Structure 1
Amino acid sequence: MEKKHLHIAAGIIRNSNEQIFITKRPEGTHMAGFWEFPGGKLEKGERPEDALSRELEEEVGIIVNHCELFHRVDCEFEDRFITLYFFVVSKWDNEPFGKEGQDSRWIDQCDLVADEFPPANRVVVDMLTQKSRQV
């Protein structure tokens, strides 16, 4: 049986104070209880940047004005492959919030904790915390 391949765009929404906006996966969902960079699945034929803009407007109420690809992660699970596109979002309209009722917060980039995120996100969290230590 061929495994399903999902493509997901996630936004590292970072303000000028080096704080990052994160949301918590709600109970009853895959990986519930973990913090995450908001985003979601690409629709058929959709570019990652376009999916990111659509998903961030739906999930956290912002309009993306500028984003750059930070890192791509490929993960294989028992039943699927996932490709994650992580974008740093540096300019947006509106104040982000948990539009779907999910917990959310701003956190200093240096205070991110990899173990609080799903396994596929941890390499990105490590990259961000290492980068903030070098500044």
Structure 2
Amino acid sequence: MSTMWGLTARGICEFNDKILLLKIRSKSAHDAGKWEIPGGKVKKCEFFDEALKREYLEETGLDIDIVSLYNVVRNDYTACKTSEEVKSIQLIMKVTCESDEVNISREHDDYGWFTIDEVNQMIENGLLTPPAVNAFKK
């Protein structure tokens, strides 16, 4: 079976020196109850910046501006529906928003704005998804 390659775009949004993270719903098949960086899969024929803005709006209700590339990480996983092995390249972008009024979707149970020290503490305590942990490693 051939390997599938996927592209995911995520955005580290800072507002008042705090970073936005979303808590994956407890019923999720992957990383339930862990915290992640907002974002998602880039669809076929979609520009990754448009995908990131779309996913951010869906997951947080926020309109974002993309500032710069922050990091690139690889996350390999098995697709739930097809059981195919997927190698996912994750583009981690620095993004900005005009507000900290978040409106989460049903994909997440909670959200929070955290200082970088708090994020590092959460990483030490195993509360972030593996790709999120790698994203913050420079």
Matched, 1:27 2:16: no
Aligned partner of 1:105: which letter?
Answer: G
Q: Which residue of 1 aligns with 2:129?
A: 118
- Count of equivalent residues: 126
Matched, 1:103 2:123: no
Aligned partner of 1:106: which letter?
Answer: W
% same residue? 25
Task: Sort the Cα spacing of 1:35 and 1:94 in 2 relative to 1 into closer, same or farther, 3 A.
Answer: closer
Report the structure, 1 or 2, having the larger helix content.
1
* Secondary structure of 1:72's aligned partner: strand
C-alpha separation in 2, matches of 1:34 and 1:67: 26
Which shifted more, 51-60 or 115-124?
Answer: 115-124
C-alpha separation in 2, matches of 1:66 and 1:83: 18
- Contact 1:65/1:93 (8 A) holds in 2: no
- Correspondent of 2:93 among 87, 90, 111: 87
- Which consecutive residues of structure 2, in runs of 5 or more, have no partner in the other structure? 79-84
The one-character-per-residue Cα deviations of 1:51-97 (angstroms, maximum 9, x if unpaired) are: 10000011100111343221111233462101111111123467223
Q: Which residue of 1 aligns with 2:82?
A: none
- Contact 1:66/1:91 (8 A) holds in 2: no
TM-score normalised to structure 1 length? 0.82
Q: Kindly report structure 1 stretches of 4+ aligned residues shifted beyond 4 Å.
A: none
* Secondary structure of 2:109's aligned partner: coil
- Contact 2:49/2:66 (8 A) holds in 1: no
C-alpha separation in 2, matches of 1:14 and 1:71: 15
* Secondary structure of 2:56's aligned partner: helix
- Which consecutive residues of structure 1, in runs of 5 or more, have no partner in the other structure? 128-135
Select the structure with the greater relative contact order (CA < 8 A; seq sep ≥ 6). Answer: 2
C-alpha separation in 2, matches of 1:68 and 1:87: 6
C-alpha separation in 1, matches of 2:52 and 2:68: 11
